[in-house]
């Protein structure tokens, strides 16, 4: 049986669930609603794209999916910052998730830059 503690797919799924939980407890208004929509899309797609990368049909397909993971991680950082600014009530939660996704963005950047160097 795989050790789920170090399973990146599992960590990214738990991160996506944390994004959903954050959205559930955020007060909805004209400012937070569109931010939450974008945050949910980017924050939950990181894990989905990583799972697709693991099932990639080619090296190029894998490279593309990892690059999307990097882009979605960075986008999620942006929306978490905007949400923290828009709603003081969940600012600490946003900062915690921002730190976590920053780590994913750095990791996917390293992976994708390593793949660029290998033809």
Q: CA 85 to CA 108: how far, in whole Å?
A: 26
Question: Residue holding tokens 């996506």?
Answer: 16
Q: Which domains does the chain have, with CATH numbers?
A: 7-117 (1.20.1440.60)
Higher pLDDT, 112 or 105: 105
15-59 pLDDT, tens digit each: 999 999 999 999 999 999 999 999 999 999 999 999 999 999 999
95-107 pLDDT, tens digit each: 999 999 999 999 9
Band (115; pLDDT cuts 50, 70, 90): confident
Question: What would the two tokens of residue 104 be?
Answer: 């994913």
Q: Helices 32-54 and 91-117, interaxial angle, to 10°?
A: 40
Contact yes or no for 101/73 (Cβ under 8 A): yes
The one-character DSSP state at 90 is G
């Amino acid at each position: 049986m795989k050790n789920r503690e170090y399973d990146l797919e599992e960590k990214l799924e738990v991160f996506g669930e944390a994004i959903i939980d954050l959205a559930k407890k955020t007060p909805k208004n004209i400012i937070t609603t569109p931010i939450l929509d974008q945050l949910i899309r980017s924050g939950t797609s990181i894990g989905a794209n990583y799972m697709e990368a693991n099932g990639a049909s080619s090296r190029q397909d894998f490279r593309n999916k990892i690059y999307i993971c990097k882009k979605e991680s960075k986008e999620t950082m942006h929306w978490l910052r905007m949400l923290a600014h828009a709603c003081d009530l969940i600012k600490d939660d946003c900062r915690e998730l921002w730190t976590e996704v920053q780590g994913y963005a750095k990791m996917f950047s390293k992976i994708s830059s390593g793949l660029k160097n290998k033809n």
